[in-house]
Every structure is written in structure tokens, then in C-alpha cells.
Amino acid sequence: MNFPRLFIGLGIFFLAVGLLWPWLLKLGLGRLPGDIFIERGNVRFYFPLTTAIIVSLLLSLLFWLLRK
């Protein structure tokens, strides 16, 4: 495996996500039905289950298309 190319690709990916973050928040990612949020007293637990599934599906589709 070519690690320098992998790290450069990951860096570009994180840069793109960081730049697009304000627009991604407007889509409602992280606040979808099925995302788990529990608040008791001063303790908060948040697990974005639905968001994680959608992101996983989109990334799987993207990698499948790039491999073809």
C-alpha cells in the first residue's frame, strides 16, 4: 500500500469536509431521526446512529464508483 498517497488523500478529504462544514450543518446531518441524544443532569451522551449509517452508505457508494 502506498501510505504517502493515502495520507495526502485523507488530508484533502478532511480539508474538504472542514470547508464544507457550515453547509453540511444546514442539511441537518447530526440531528436526524434515529440519532441518540440523552441528557441527564450535567451529563450529555450523543451518538449519531442514523447520520453514521447515511455517511457510511455514501462513502461506500463513492469508493465503489471510484474503483470501477
Q: Which domain holds residue 65?
A: 31-68
Contact indicator for 26, 15 with CB cutoff of 8 Å: no
pLDDT of residue 49: 93
Helix (H) or strand (E) holding 38: strand 36-40
Do residues 35 and 68 both lie within one domain?
Answer: yes
Do residues 35 and 23 both lie within one domain?
Answer: no
Do residues 19 and 40 both lie within one domain?
Answer: no
What are the cell numbers at 8?
495526502
Q: What confidence tier does 1 reach under pLDDT thresholds 50, 70, 90?
A: low
Do residues 38 and 56 both lie within one domain?
Answer: yes
Contact indicator for 17, 24 with CB cutoff of 8 Å: yes
Do residues 37 and 66 both lie within one domain?
Answer: yes
Do residues 15 and 48 both lie within one domain?
Answer: no
Domain count across the chain:
2
Query: Per residue in 18-55, pLDDT tens?
Result: 898 888 778 777 788 999 999 999 999 999 999 889 98
pLDDT of residue 58: 87
Phi, psi at residue 46, to the nearest 5°? -135, 125
Do residues 3 and 23 both lie within one domain?
Answer: yes
